[in-house]
Amino acid sequence: MTVTDPVAPGLETNDAEQQQSLATTAARNLATTKKSVPQMQGISSRWLLRMLPWVQVSGGTYRVNRRLTYAVGDGRVTFANTGSEIRVIPAELGELPILRGFDDEDVLTALADRFEQREYQPGDVIVEFGHESNEAFLIAHGKVNKIGPGHYGDETVLGVLANGDHFGAETLADPASRWEYTVRAVTPVTVLTLPQQGFDELLERSETLRAQLQAFRDGQSAARNPHGEAAIELASGHSGEPDLPGTFVDYELGPREYELSVAQTVLRVHSRVSDLYNEPMDQVEQQLRLTIEALRERQEHELVNNREFGLLANADLGHRLHTRNGPPTPDDLDELLAVVWKNPAFFLAHPRTIAAFGRECSKRGIYPETVDLNGNRVPAWRGIPLFPCNKIGISDTRTSSIMLMRVGEQQQGVIGLHQTGIPDEYQPSLSVRFMGISPKAIVSYLVSAYYSAAVLVPDALGVLENVELGREG
């Protein structure tokens, strides 16, 4: 559970201590002359909070049950990610040449548990030609170049490996082997590695694994549908009384559970401020309003960026795309629409990313339409609104991301999670709890917002990553 603590506005203290409540000097600014309510530059449109359908969560936990999904035999390894933590599905290790056809579930699970997660940046060398090859590599996310010596002694790219590809597994059967190529990261890359030592330890204990190393043959795998889900056996177009196939729908054995996160702060108001400077504006109400605005801003930030439940971290690895040439083009957004093609609801991008997309459209003589949403004109692509969200960060190298999502439980999309009906509820799933009055006459209120988000099926969310924004200014 994540706890965050935005700073409450307007605090007062004695000279020798840190300020703890609103000063009377500041309070007078609301008590005299014609005035506005207190303004706050940090308030944004918060389209994500406004557009997500919010689902009531009883008991603070929401479980997402899914069909069992994997596809052995397609040559690529499939992963499951919980936030930023990635793990390989044990049965998918059958894609590795030395394990093809191997069906000892206990051994495959033990092998999957021995993989270690690593991160590399563009240009990093993952393995180097001529060095000892003592690890197997699974590419969970990103692109790498496989480089070898060229015909004239220079380097040449032998191939490009990306999500689901793997290399080096066959070298585990020959500990004395050396790398015959170099592998270098092209984009930010996440890999899972199996060290030779971890493989050898299991090899010593498993007779079936030792036998497997003697034969590299394809094995039979359970029937799958085109989406990689365990197939449902059906019969159609028959006549008479043939035997109908029996079936059942298999589920994931360890479904993901989302616990509500919390953002909290303590608002302090001196009693003399609320007593004497309450006209024409309620001081407590204004302090509370700005505090809640800060909490809601933090809430949206966490829904986008939190490494456990944030949308950027929880997008399926197979639905994270890269731009073709760097800047965001209409072609790139079309590719994103090809991933989230079932009833997409909206794009979400930093305002500067939207500006970069507009520049690319202008270069091509394309002028994106706008759509009306409750009186707001917002840019759109293919009729899908493109909402600004300043919570999607911009890196030091001026790159960002664009999200596209389908929303709602009925649509098997992305949903917001909250729990209403909590004690001292001020807004849905937000409570303001009186904590008492200190000996210095400072009144304290605990302000808490509870929330999370869930992606019900992988194709509900797609992310276009490493979008170049160009030079500033």
**Alpha-carbon gap, residue 371 to 284, rounded angstroms:** 39
Report, in angstroms and rounded to the nearest whole number, the Rg of the chain calculated over CA atoms.
28
Q: With contact defined as beta carbons under 8 Å apart, do 394 and 352 qualify? A: yes
| Token pair recorded at residue 240 | 């008479």
Q: Determine the Cα–Cα distance for residues 77 and 87; give it in Å rounded to an integer.
A: 11
Q: Is there a contact between 115 and 193 (Cβ–Cβ < 8 Å)?
A: yes
pLDDT at 232: 58
How buried is residue 336: exposed, middle or buried, by Cβ count under 10 Å (0-12/13-18/19+)? buried
Judge whether 391 and 28 are in contact, CB under 8 Å.
no
β-sheet bridge partners, residue 456: none
Four-point Cα dihedral 325, 326, 328, 333, nearest 10:
60
Strand, coil or helix: 81: strand
| Amino acid found at 432 | V
User: What one-character-per-residue DSSP string does 176-203 give?
Assistant: T-B-SSEEEESS-EEEEEEEHHHHHHHH
DSSP track, 430-466: EEEEEEEE-TT-EEEEEEEEEEEEEESSGGGEEEEEE
- Does the predicted model carry a pTM greater than 0.85? no
With contact defined as beta carbons under 8 Å apart, do 35 and 288 qualify? no
| Residue whose C-alpha is closest to residue 135's, from 93, 192, 188 | 192
Taking a C-beta distance cutoff of 8 angstroms, is the pair 284, 269 a contact? yes
Q: What is the pLDDT of residue 220?
A: 33
DSSP string, 318-343: GGEEE-SSSS--HHHHHHHHHHS-SS
74: enclosing H helix or E strand: none
Q: Tell me, what's the pLDDT at 134?
A: 86
Token pair 């090859």 is found at 133
Residue 450: what are its φ and ψ, rounded to 5°? -115, 135
Per-residue pLDDT tens digits of the chain, which is 473 residues long? 444 555 444 444 455 567 788 777 777 776 666 667 778 788 889 999 999 999 999 888 888 877 655 555 556 788 887 777 888 888 888 888 888 778 888 889 999 999 999 999 988 999 988 888 889 999 988 888 888 876 666 778 887 788 888 898 888 877 778 888 899 998 889 999 999 888 888 888 888 888 887 664 333 333 445 554 555 556 555 556 666 555 545 555 567 888 899 999 999 988 888 888 777 778 888 889 999 999 999 999 999 999 889 999 888 877 888 888 889 999 999 999 999 999 999 999 999 999 999 999 999 999 888 998 888 888 999 999 999 999 999 988 889 999 999 999 999 999 999 999 999 999 999 999 999 999 999 999 999 999 999 999 989 999 998 899 976 54
Nearest residue to 311 via CA among 365, 274, 348: 348
Predicted pLDDT of residue 417: 95
The predicted pLDDT at position 89 comes to 87
- Bridge partners, 464 (sequence order): 321, 402
Other Cβ atoms closer than 10 A to 253: 6
In the block, residue with structure tokens 């359908």: 53
Query: Where are the alpha helices (H) located in 218-350, listed in sequence order?
Result: 271-276, 283-305, 311-314, 330-339
346 close to 385: Cβ distance less than 8 angstroms: yes
Pairing mode, strands 442-455 and 370-373:
unpaired
Using alpha carbons only, give the angle 172, 173, 176 rounded to the nearest 5 degrees: 80
Nearest to 209 by CA among 75, 99, 95: 99
Tokens of 89: 């599905």
Tell me the C-alpha distance between 135 and 165, whole Å.
15
Identify whether the C-beta of residue 263 lies closer than 8 Å to the C-beta of residue 7.
Answer: no
pLDDT at 8: 47
Residue whose C-alpha is closest to residue 337's, from 401, 381, 400: 381
Closest by CA to 72, choosing from 254, 231, 309, is: 231
CA neighbor of 470 nearest in space, from 356, 393, 354: 356
Q: Is 414 left (phi over 0), alpha (psi -120 to 50) or beta?
A: beta
Closest C-alpha to 406, from 336, 472, 329, 473: 336
Q: Where do we find the tokens 């999670």?
A: 417
Burial 149-172 (b: 16+ CB within 10 A, else e): eeeeeeeeebeebebbbbbbbebb
User: Does residue 263 contact residue 447 with C-beta atoms inside 8 Å?
Assistant: no
